[in-house]
Amino acid sequence: MALTTAAATLQTTSRQLSSISSNVRANAAAAPISQNAGALRFESLTTSPSCWTALHFSSSRSCSVMGEVLWSNGGAARLAPKRDSVVRAAGASTVVQPEGFQVTTVPTKPIEGQKTGTSGLRKKVKEFMSPNYLANWIQALFDSLPDEDVKGSTLVLGGDGRYFNKEAAQIIIKIAAGNGVAKILVGRDGIASTPAVSAIIRARKANGGFIMSASHNPGGPKYDWGIKFNYSSGQPAPEAITDKIYGNTQSIKEIKQADIPDVNLSELGVHKFGDFTVEVIDPVADYLDLLEQVFDFDLLKSLLTSKDFRFKFDAMHAVTGAYAKPIFVDRLGAPEDSVFNGVPLEDFGGGHPDPNLTYAEELVKIMYGPDAPDLGAASDGDGDRNMVLGNHFFITPSDSVAMIAAYAEAIPYFRSGLKGLARSMPTSGALDRVAKELGLPFFETPTGWKFFGNLMDAGKCSVCGEESFGTGSDHVREKDGIWAVLAWLSIVAYKNKGKKEGEELVSVADIAKEHWRKYGRNFFSRYDYEECDSDSANKMVEHLRSIIASSKKGDKYGPYELEVADDFAYTDPIDGSVATKQGLRFIFSDGSRIIYRLSGTGSAGATIRIYIEQYEPDTKKHDLDAQEALKPLIDIALSISKLQEFTGRTKPTVIT
Ligand code: VG1
Ligand code: CO
């Protein structure tokens, strides 16, 4: 049927449609179309030649809904007058709207730099709040997903409570509805931690989910905002999708947005807008249910209620504030004052919600102070990271994952054995030794949790971790801060089973030292130089690449002899995808390593990370301070890179 005929059909089908022009359709606006039980209606039309072509041939996504309506019933769509119709302003071409709301196509233009980094898109809040910035990315994402994950789909929406999340949630909900999503499950107040979103996606069999968070980056009007998208098994979107999103942000022309009112997210409940539903859910329930299946809660309760054990959890005014009290206090019986900084705040109380020795200063002071508790822990902005400390004792994240794997018997979820172990490349080799000892498949992936997802989905990995305070298992597809803390509490409880009241407990430090005696100690440290000038950082990387290009086995670096120097590349064993340029490595003949990477999570300048590792089998040296043990290698790392020369930095911002 020719375009003009289509228009003619429309005209003759409704008394209300008095004329069709290429401008706003004032009269057509009063003509809702109902299909079958009135599932679809439209209240206004703005026509454009491309839209009408698509209408006719049903070939364009932006007009396909309209096409479906018009050509259902053999083109004899029933039209009836509708009083509460809305006319769209010129420039915003209204398409068709499922019952209950109208979908507006808002014209937009590509915005530079919307490339996701190691984990989601992170920028200064101001940038995200600029016109269409977030909307463009969300629309680009919907344009990147297969139709079945958009039309009629269910998505989860959570976040860490940071500044701009409330507004962002409403934008995301409207664009989701505009693109045909059937249901959004959103955490109350827009809150849900990253691992909880992963758990909810899995529990509710959702098609995916959003996490509104820049994770460990600071929040508030002057700081960062971010968004992550996770896929149907709960894992961060793989690069194949994030690359596609980025591609679409560079050619985006329009945003499809439902004209629905803001949804009240502060109370649990269901809000229906025609075929679209927003359900405000308890962000803790599904996640806690899952954790109860993973751990022995009775055992944990016996530890946390014991007079001989004291526990402190620093939620850093971030998302785990919403989880810590219900889980540690209400469910597991820990004293109320075990949790501090336990209220999520939009600016994290002005702090940097990064659980490391520098930014979790308050916890560190307690754990290294007089009369320190037995176990202290902290989590980051979105609840996926963790730091675990004993009384005057720091468990490096690289050791933590190895020790959890070695003590898997303390966790009922692993009762039938571990399937395999994995760590990110810069993470120390402590886990490798456990994998070897236990005869388990082992994988070394690039930095970023997204690389673990395929391994877990394929049943090849049970426990994995990153040196950056990320530890987790295949109970979800994210690193999981609270899980890691419960894992450590489980190990301590397991090691102290049957102890009588007043008897001395096996401590966190005892557990770590025993592990080192058996496996040897992988001394590890990371130096971060935050917000360096990007050009200088890139020049330093080029300089290192040139050294690597001319290096050969046997080259001498002080007492160290080079085994290999390269730029880490990874081929995913499941889907064969290849990730290159994942970190510059200098590996020495004794297994010691120096690694350089530029961070992919910053929002300003460049953050240079240097990772230094050395294996020490000699038990007598295990009590050395890591900085002391690694001093010669650290000096070499600084001298090879000429870091000071390139960046002017004399000291790192953070040492782990
Ligand atoms: C950092 C960490 C990396 C982690 C990522 C996301 O990335 O090094 O291990 O997966 O943050 O964690 P980068 O590119 O800055 O080194 V989170 O808790 O910020 O989502
Ligand atoms: Co995080």
HEC secondary structure over 533-562: CHHHHHHHHHHHHHHHHHCCCCCEECCEEE
For a ligand 1 pocket test, name from 197, 450, 468 the mutation site with the most ligand atoms within 8 angstroms of its C-beta: 468
Which residues does the chain have with pLDDT short of 70?
Answer: 1-99
CA distances (Å), 252 to each of 122, 130, 170, 259, 267, in order? 19, 16, 21, 20, 35
CA 573 to chain centre: 22
HEC secondary structure over 295-342: CCHHHHHHHHCCCCCCEEEECCCCCCHHHHHHHHHHHCCCCHHHEECC
CA of 381 from ligand 2 middle (Å) equals 6
CA of 198 from ligand 2 middle (Å) equals 13
Q: How many CB atoms lie within 10 A of CB 99?
A: 17
Closest atom of ligand 1 to 469 CA is 9
Q: Show which residues are catalytic.
A: 215
For a ligand 1 pocket test, name from 447, 452, 570 the mutation site with the most ligand atoms within 8 angstroms of its C-beta: 447
CA of 464 from ligand 1 middle (Å) equals 14
| Per-residue pLDDT at 354 | 93
Residue nearest to atom 17 of ligand 1 (CA): 215
Q: Which ligand is nearest to the CA of 427?
A: 1
Q: Which ligand is nearest to the CA of 423?
A: 1
Residue nearest to atom 6 of ligand 1 (CA): 119
CA distance 563 to 354: 34
Q: Which ligand is nearest to the CA of 193?
A: 2
Is 328 in contact with 304 (CB distance < 8 Å)?
yes
pTM: 0.82
| Per-residue pLDDT at 601 | 77
Residue nearest to atom 1 of ligand 1 (CA): 601
Residue nearest to atom 18 of ligand 1 (CA): 215
- Going by C-alpha positions, the residue among 105, 180, 109 that lies closest to residue 142 is 180
- Which of the 8 DSSP states describes residue 638? H
Closest atom of ligand 1 to 602 CA is 15
Closest atom of ligand 1 to 117 CA is 14
CA of 312 from ligand 1 middle (Å) equals 25
Q: Which ligand is nearest to the CA of 226?
A: 1
Closest atom of ligand 1 to 382 CA is 18
The bridge status of strand 521-532 relative to strand 654-655 is: antiparallel
Ligand 1 — pocket residues by CB below 6 A? Answer: 118-119, 215-216, 380, 384-385, 424, 447-449, 466, 468, 470, 599-601, 609
For a ligand 1 pocket test, name from 601, 607, 654 the mutation site with the most ligand atoms within 8 angstroms of its C-beta: 601
pLDDT in tens, 228-255: 999 999 999 988 899 999 999 999 999 9
Q: How many CB atoms lie within 10 A of CB 271?
A: 17
CA of 28 from ligand 2 middle (Å) equals 49
Closest atom of ligand 1 to 214 CA is 19
CA angle 539, 543, 545 (to 5 degrees): 115
Residue nearest to atom 16 of ligand 1 (CA): 599
Q: What is the length of the chain?
A: 656
CA of 101 from ligand 1 middle (Å) equals 39
Closest atom of ligand 1 to 384 CA is 18
| Per-residue pLDDT at 99 | 57
